[in-house]
Amino acid sequence: MKKILNLAGSFIVGACIGAGGMIGVRTLVIGDSLDSVCSRFSEFGALQMAGVFLAAILLLLLSIFLQVILHEGGHLVCGLATGYRFVSFRIFSLTFIRKDGKLCIRRFSIAGTGGQCLLAPPEKPLAYIPTALYNLGGVLANLSAAILAFLPLLAADGLPYLLKFFLLTFSLTGLFLALMNGIPMKIGGIGNDADNMRLLLKDSKSKQALVTQLRVNALVQEGMRPKDMPAEWFGQAEGIDYKNALQATIALMHASRLLDLEEWEAAHHAFGRVMDHRHEVIGLLIKETACELLFTALVTNKTAQAEELYTDELNAYIRQYKDVTSSKQRLLCALALCRDKDAAKAKEIYDTTCRRKDKYLMQGEVRSDIALMKSILTAANVL
């Protein structure tokens, strides 16, 4: 029922936007008066009105989809132009990756984002690695497309009405995305492009953090485990500004590397240190930290702390991403083994993850998670 109500609400909102857009085209672009537009609509039958609204909604959705592609394409083009290497390209949950020299498709999504272009930075000294154009490429693409789409409305006469409506919605959508990414803000707890630029301009430590993240994410996606990466990459975890999302992520990566090395107590302490700054760190990172803190509490027999961490809210988050990231399967395995004392279920989760390992986007992560599950299951004499 809730899904039906949400769908109905979305349709009503879309219909209102579509109606507003059509009225805007006729009054602002075509030059009709508001009275004449309302009079024209009153002549439509119910089916005609529904058809017009549906066409308007579809054109609006098409505009959004194309502008998201252009935004991520802007990052891609500007990144490649400044020496970055292609890793993956995501539109909503559809993700294109390069594997063995071929493009493959995976499903992956992050709450609060409509897409993502992941590139690996060039192998240069930090001072010579460009970041501005890569970060602002999406905004420039949306803004350029918005201007180009609006020009025919000013210069050309006799354009079909639906084309005028599409050009206007495409232009406004591009302007909206450019503003949403060009003005520093957090959306769904995640900093936008301009917010990242703001952090990069503050100090070189933020730039080093971004470059490290891009390198680590690229290698993890290509199959390398964190424990096999250079230790010095993770040496920035001391003296960081936890309000800075770029730097806070490095602290999490440092803790994740300790986890991959099976240094359970050290990893638990490192995740706990991030959790101590929960009021400074963005929500998404805190949820990930809570998941890993719960895992390390389970495998180090900190039962009381594990129960305190395992809230209904965290359980819902785990279930939301259990088919997207293998780390949630690892956590579910630990919950079954250490909390529920259900060895058969824990082994089933392990076996399922092994069978589905090629379906996950982050191949280095799934290799690590399978190894960690095998370790705790072996220690419990389940394997």
Tokens, residue 233: 């990459």
- Give me the half-sphere count of Cα atoms (radius 13 Å) on the Cβ side of residue 70: 22
Query: What is the chain's mean pLDDT, rounded?
Result: 86
Mean pLDDT of 289-312: 97
Cβ neighbors of 62 (< 8 A, separation 6 or more) are 166
Question: Could you tell me the two tokens for 382?
Answer: 């389940």
Query: Does the pLDDT at position 83 exceed 60?
Result: yes
Average pLDDT over residues 140-161: 90
What pLDDT is attached to residue 19? 53
Extended beta strands in the chain, E state: 85-91, 94-99, 102-107, 115-120, 186-187, 190-191
- The pLDDT of residue 22 is above 80: no
Statement: residue 111 has pLDDT above 70: no
Q: Is the pLDDT of residue 211 over 70?
A: yes
Beta bridge partners of 102: 99
pLDDT band of 105, cuts 50, 70, 90? confident
Phi/psi for 208 (5° steps) reads -60, -40
Q: Is the pLDDT of residue 103 over 70?
A: yes
**Separation CA 199–CA 209 (nearest Å):** 10
Q: Of 68-77, 188-197, 351-360, 366-375, which range is least confident? A: 188-197
Q: For the chain, what percent of residues have pLDDT higher than 70?
A: 84
39/33 Cα distance (integer angstroms) = 10
Closest by CA position to 169, among listed 72, 68, 91, 56: 56
Q: How confident is the model at residue 267 (pLDDT cuts 50, 70, 90)?
A: very high
- Range name among 40-54, 107-121, 162-176 with the lowest pLDDT average: 40-54
**Does residue 23 register a pLDDT over 70?**
no
The tokens describing 97, both together, are 């990756």
Does residue 177 have a pLDDT over 70?
yes
- Residue 238's pLDDT is what? 73
- Residues 108 and 115: their CA atoms lie apart, in Å, by 10
* 327 neighbors 349 (Cβ within 8 angstroms): no
Crossing angle between the packed helical segments 283-299 and 312-321, to the nearest 10 degrees = 100
From the list 82, 83, 73, 84, the residue with the least C-alpha distance to 117 is 73
Lowest mean pLDDT among 4-8, 223-227, 312-316, 333-337: 4-8
In Å, the largest CA–CA distance within the chain is 79
> In Å, how far are 181, 185, 341, 372 from 305, measured between CA atoms?
39, 34, 17, 21
Q: With bands split at pLDDT 50, 70 and 90, how would you rate the model's confidence at 329? A: very high
Distance CA(140)–CA(77), nearest Å, equals: 11
Higher pLDDT pick, 65 / 9: 65
Signed CA dihedral, 82, 83, 84, 89: sign only: positive
Compute CA 111 distance to the chain's CA centroid, rounded to the nearest angstrom: 6
Helix (H) or strand (E) holding 32: none
Give, as one character, the DSSP assignment of residue 268. H
Closest CA to 247 of 202, 186, 290, 295: 202
> Does residue 12 have a pLDDT over 70?
no
Whole-number Å distance between alpha carbons of 163 and 314: 47
Closest alpha carbon to 251 in 223, 294, 288: 288
- Report the pLDDT value the prediction gives residue 107, as an integer from 0 to 100: 73
Q: Determine contact, residues 195/184, Cβ cutoff 8 Å.
A: yes
Residue 330 has pLDDT above 70, yes or no: yes
pLDDT per residue as tens digits for the range 340-380: 999 999 999 999 999 999 888 899 999 999 999 999 999 99
Whether pLDDT at 255 is above 90: yes
Give the model's pLDDT for residue 235: 79
Separation between Cα atoms, residue 11 and residue 13, nearest integer Å: 5
The pLDDT assigned to 109 comes to 63
What are the tokens at 165? 């409506």
pLDDT at residue 42 is higher than 80: no
Number of neighbouring beta carbons within 10 Å of residue 232:
8
The confidence score (pLDDT) of residue 110 equals 63
Asked which of 86-90, 151-155, 187-191 is least confident by mean pLDDT, the reply is 187-191
